[in-house]
Amino acid sequence: MENISKRIKNLPIGIFDSGIGGLTVAKSIFNLLPNEKVIYLGDTARLPYGTKSKETVILYSIECLKFLLKKKVKLIVVACNTASSVAVPFLKKITKIPILGVIAPGAKAAVQKTKNKKIGVIGTVRTIKSMSYIKEIRKISTDVKIYSQPCSLFVQLAEDGWTDNKIAILTAETYLNTLKKEKIDTLILGCTHYPVLKKTIAKVMGKNVILIDSGEETAKEVKSLLEKQNLLTNRKTKGTHKFYVTDFPSNFKDISERFLGKKIRKVEKIKLQ
């Protein structure tokens, strides 16, 4: 028993996303749990998930899950808002390994941090329409007010590195105007691309608004869950990070560096069924 637990402790954490956005989540996990091994899968051949039907997203997520299960991971993070909102319940039926999405941790943190009980949520059109953050917040609090706003242009701005120029600021002002008027004090960045634009969003919202980075909150949740289950690695050295993609998108290197905050030295291209 002792040996089995020891063996599991040192297995990697698995992360998957439709593409590269999840790298901001991976970055938070690398920072908080540097000694953990991590396997990242970006289903770049089929990105984005956000425009696809629910059935398709579930199917693709199951394929990503199966790939990570074959790699023998101890915990799986669904680092994609779309997949988190529609596929997690289905994934949990397939395996007993803990599965964490990015929505619940972000929702929980926002409820804990708001003082005036006015929370804003920004995300892609699909995430906002799915009301997944609202549903998750409502599970833990019925007395906060929630204001949401799709910010579809933010993804392209983040990928192009237009993160703090005039256009980024004007776009942020246009999207965030209503949330400012509603005097929210907490804002959930409900898309894995948005942390790249955090400075501009913070500038536009003002210093009294707390930004909730779903990636950071998810990393905290991963740590807490591994602690509870006595599954944190006992490795004393830095864990290795492996990256798999299903295709190489144009600008992959530049974008991934911007999202991860470091160079990815080796990426392997694989096929999902």
Report the catalytic residues.
Answer: 80, 191
Does residue 160 bind its own copies (CB under 8 A)? yes
- Sheet strands side by side (includes 145-150): 145-150, 118-123, 186-189, 210-213
Instruction: Using the minimum distance from each CB to its own copies, give the nearer residue, 105 or 190.
Output: 190
Residue 116 CA: distances (Å) to CA of 38, 112, 182, 183, 185: 38, 11, 11, 9, 7
Closer to its own copies by Cβ: residue 228 or 269: 269
Say which residues have a Cβ less than 8 Å from residue 44's Cβ, sequence separation at least 6. 18, 19, 20, 245, 246, 247, 248, 249, 252
Minimum CB distance to its own copies smaller for 47 or for 146: 47
**Using CB under 8 A, which of the segments 90-98, 139-147, 156-164, 229-237 binds its own copies?**
156-164
Q: Interface with its own copies includes 170 (CB under 8 A)? A: yes
Decide if residue 63 touches its own copies (CB under 8 A). Answer: no
Can residue 177 be called a binding residue for its own copies (CB under 8 A)? Answer: no
Can you read off the two tokens belonging to residue 26?
Answer: 């991976």
126 binds its own copies (CB under 8 A): yes
Radius of gyration for the chain, computed over Cα atoms and rounded to the nearest angstrom: 18
How many residues sit close enough to its own copies to count as binding (CB under 8 A)? 31
Q: Is the dihedral of CA 264, 266, 270, 272 positive or negative?
A: negative
Contact call for residue 116 and its own copies (CB under 8 A): no
In one letter, which amino acid is 150?
P
Q: Is 171 in the site for its own copies (CB under 8 A)?
A: yes
Among all chains, which residue has been given the structure tokens 């998930």?
Answer: 49
Q: Does 192 bind its own copies (CB under 8 A)?
A: no
Asked whether position 178 contacts its own copies by CB under 8 A, the answer is no
Instruction: Write each residue from 35 to 54 as x if it is in contact with its own copies (CB under 8 A), else as -, in one continuous string.
Output: ---------xxxx--xxxx-
Q: Give the residues lining the site for its own copies (CB under 8 A).
A: 44-47, 50-53, 56, 125-126, 129, 152-153, 155-157, 159-160, 162, 165-167, 170-171, 174, 247-251
